[in-house]
Chain A
Amino acid sequence: MAVFRWGQSWDPFQDLEREVDRLLQGVNLSLHGVRFSRRFPQVNLLELDDAYVLTAEIPGVDPKALEVTTASGYLTIKGTRVPPEEAREDSFRRQERFHGPWQRKIQLPDRINEEGMRADYTAGVLRVTLPKAPSATPRQIRVNE
């Protein structure tokens, strides 16, 4: 027979729950350390023959609300991940996912062709393709006397 009944306060169990959570977090940290307490979102930067590709794991954002910009050799991605409206702060039993505004700024390794830049977002993964600028040949600068 269930001792617990819905509608009763969770309070008697909260301390226990918190303690269990703390223990679980410890277990998770030792097993999957990289998946917790990390920057959001996590990014990878790949170099292909003719382009650089930045990928970022940003599950659960509206692609329209994703900002991808380049300026002065930096690529900036930013957005906000909002918790569901129905979820009140005190109704969370467990919270491991990132919520709130985020921004990442990544220095680009080389000049890129900004006209050819492309970004797509599929299944929570952002992929920005940055074609390399064709002018890879060194330019001689004449020194005036």
Chain B
Amino acid sequence: MSEPQDQTPTESHMLIPATTTPVPETAPEPPAEPRLLFNPPIDIYETPDGLVLYADLPGVTAEGLDLQVQDSRLTLFGRVQQRDPVARQILHQEYQVGDFLRSFILSDEVDHDRIQAKLTNGVLRVELPRAPRAKPRRIEVSPG
């Protein structure tokens, strides 16, 4: 499925959630057992310094989190570490345990080198500072 949002970012968006996400190359080898993959819910809000992104990644610790920026794409991949105990019977089930994957298109407005992330109690917080505005540069015109 191709989505229009996955194309070249427009200037009005610093950070666009992408609708398709390739699994990052550095992701650990998939284990033999099949694992579920979920699109985690996110919040994005604006601050004077840039944007802040939050993502719910229950069950993911810092060791299991892979966050990378490549080719203007920010990809988060969270591998759930803890497994539920082997149940004799599941009496009630509202959720399934799985890993998390989501990616975003970053525009040039984001200073890619100053992106910072923190994972607390299963919530990822990513700070995306605004890039300092380029100073106007005067181009000398040499007489021809």
Q: Does residue A111 face the partner (Cβ distance < 8 Å to B)?
A: no
The tally of CB-CB contacts under 8 A between chains A and B is 160
A109 to B61, CA, bound (A): 32
Given contacts A2-B11, A43-B92, A60-B120, contact A93 B46 (CB under 8 A): yes
A123 to B41, CA, bound (A): 16
A92 to B47, CA, bound (A): 9
Q: In the complex, which residues 27-71 of chain B have their Cβ closer than 8 Å to any Cβ of chain A? A: 38-47, 51-52, 54, 56-61
Interface residues on chain B, number (Cβ under 8 Å): 53
Given contacts A44-B92, A47-B89, contact A93 B39 (CB under 8 A): no
Q: Are A39 and B94 in contact (CB under 8 A)?
A: yes
B121's partner among A61, A87, A98 (CB-CB below 8 A) is A61
Q: Does residue A134 face the partner (Cβ distance < 8 Å to B)?
A: no
B11's partner among A3, A58, A106 (CB-CB below 8 A) is A3
Minimal Cβ-Cβ distance residue in A for B57: A59
Q: Are A49 and B121 in contact (CB under 8 A)?
A: no
A96 to B45, CA, bound (A): 11
- Looking at the assembled complex, report how far the CB atom of A93 sits from the nearest CB atom of chain B, in whole angstroms: 4
Q: Does residue A133 face the partner (Cβ distance < 8 Å to B)?
A: no
Q: Does residue B72 face the partner (Cβ distance < 8 Å to A)?
A: no
Q: In the complex, which residues 11-53 of chain A have their Cβ closer than 8 Å to any Cβ of chain B? A: 12-13, 16-17, 20, 23-24, 27-28, 31-32, 34-36, 38-39, 42-49, 52-53
- Looking at the assembled complex, report how far the CB atom of B120 sits from the nearest CB atom of chain A, in whole angstroms: 7
Q: Are A42 and B120 in contact (CB under 8 A)?
A: no
A4 to B87, CA, bound (A): 54
- Looking at the assembled complex, report how far the CB atom of B72 sits from the nearest CB atom of chain A, in whole angstroms: 13
Q: Are B123 and A59 in contact (CB under 8 A)?
A: yes
Given contacts A32-B38, A125-B122, contact A6 B84 (CB under 8 A): no
- Looking at the assembled complex, report how far the CB atom of B56 sits from the nearest CB atom of chain A, in whole angstroms: 5
Q: Are B95 and A24 in contact (CB under 8 A)?
A: no
Q: Which residues of B contact A6 (CB under 8 A)?
A: 109, 130, 133
Minimal Cβ-Cβ distance residue in B for A108: B91
Residue ranges of B at the interface with A (Cβ–Cβ < 8 Å)? 1, 3, 5, 10-13, 15, 17, 19, 38-47, 51-52, 54, 56-61, 81-82, 84-96, 107-109, 120-123, 130, 133
Residue ranges of A at the interface with B (Cβ–Cβ < 8 Å)? 2-6, 10, 12-13, 16-17, 20, 23-24, 27-28, 31-32, 34-36, 38-39, 42-49, 52-53, 55, 57-63, 83-84, 86-88, 91-98, 106, 109, 121-125
